[in-house]
Amino acid sequence: MELPKITILDEKNKILHQKSFEVKFPVSKEDQKLAEDTIKYLKMSQDEKIASKYNLRAGMGMAFVQLGILKRIFVIANKNDNGSFEEYVIINPKIISQSEELIYVGEGEGCLSVNRSVDGIVPRHARITVEYYDYQGNKKITRVREDLAVAFQHEIDHLNGILFVDKIDKKNPYKNANKMREI
């Protein structure tokens, strides 16, 4: 299997702090191919042998802005316990409801655009419902929880020009951890 040719921008790139634009439908063939290539890249990055061969950091999601494209599209490749993947191509997403319960990733969130270790926690909603569109512009609604909810919120932040490091309290990186559930 050949690694797709994609270039992931580093956090120093100012485009990552810009808001992405709504996508017009139907989605172009180029954008569809890029979404599929990015999912393939993410799946390969979660395979230890392939990741080692290509020196990849494991990633679960990617927003188009991380590839230098200011369009409101992100993809997720979520590896299940049995080794299969749930794949998502999310276009023009909006969070339409969210739980009051807050969670955080105990080992800390990561990002393929942030090539350093970062201490601190990012408060996220435990469950969210997202309205989005498919390639043809058909409206979809999905409810995600736990790890997937974190990934969706992380990628939606990217579309709004926000990196997870921007959400960590600089003075108190573990602020309010006792008021949230660790996952």
Query: What is the number of residues in the chain?
Result: 183
The CA distance from 11 to 81, in Å, is 31
Give how far Cα 116 sits from Cα of 40, 103, 109, 112, 113, Å. 24, 23, 11, 10, 9
CB contact set of 138 (below 8 Å; sequence gap of 6+): none
155 an active-site residue? yes
Q: What's at 38, amino acid-wise?
A: T
The CA distance from 31 to 134, in Å, is 12
The CA distance from 99 to 94, in Å, is 15
Q: What's at 59, amino acid-wise?
A: G
Contact 44, 36 (CB under 8 A): no
Q: Smallest Cα–Cα separation from 155: which of 107, 89, 58, 106?
A: 89
Residue of 48, 86, 155, 182 with catalytic role: 155
Which are the catalytic amino acids? 155
